[in-house]
Structure 1
Amino acid sequence: MQEAFKRILSKLEGIEVHCLEMSDWQGQSAIESAIEIVKQEQQSYIGNWIPCSERLPDKEGSYLVVGKTGGAVVTRWYAPSEYYPNGHFGGNCADYIRYWMPRPIAPE
């Protein structure tokens, strides 16, 4: 699904306004609106999940993570050390984690 959003945005951003059957400013406004809608939908689909390939947590703590198979667990993030210069997620699942997010606040 993420790739689909990227392809749609790429096509929308590549449209030339003069090809549309409306004035330039209306065409540009329509394209900008469509791009914004796609970006908002993309964000609501992804939520607050952060791909490990983009960045990792910057402080120690417990995080909600998703692995290769889509299962979610809470695990600990450890700060960089001599043995793990980039930091690491704890437990046996560290190699399988694909996305992470701060733990949501528990309901009262």
Structure 2
Amino acid sequence: MSLTTYVGGGLGALALFGDLAKDVLNECVWLRAIFFTLVFLGAALLVHARQSAEWFLIEVERGNKTASDASSEPFKSYKLATVAAAASGGILVAASWYVATK
């Protein structure tokens, strides 16, 4: 489950960087809204992926499922969380360029 740590750390760093870049984000309100939406969406997807993976492991331990029953749902959520984190970073770059060329 180290993937959770890596993606969560990236989202945390983006949230911190977003706080440090608040002056830039205050200049373009619509980009700020998109940025925070993507950060929260990424965090929610990460929680969903972790919970799904943990629940699957519990079901395997109980004997209700086997390893071959594994769905790719947690991995899809991890991928979407990573995309949301990357898009959040892109929004910060876009906001910086928007303010710089204003």
TM-score normalised over the length of structure 1: 0.38
Give the number of the structure whose alpha-carbon radius of gyration is greater. Answer: 1
TM-score normalised over the length of structure 2: 0.40
Structure that is richer in helix per residue: 2
Q: Which has the higher contact order (CA 8 A, sep 6+)?
A: 2
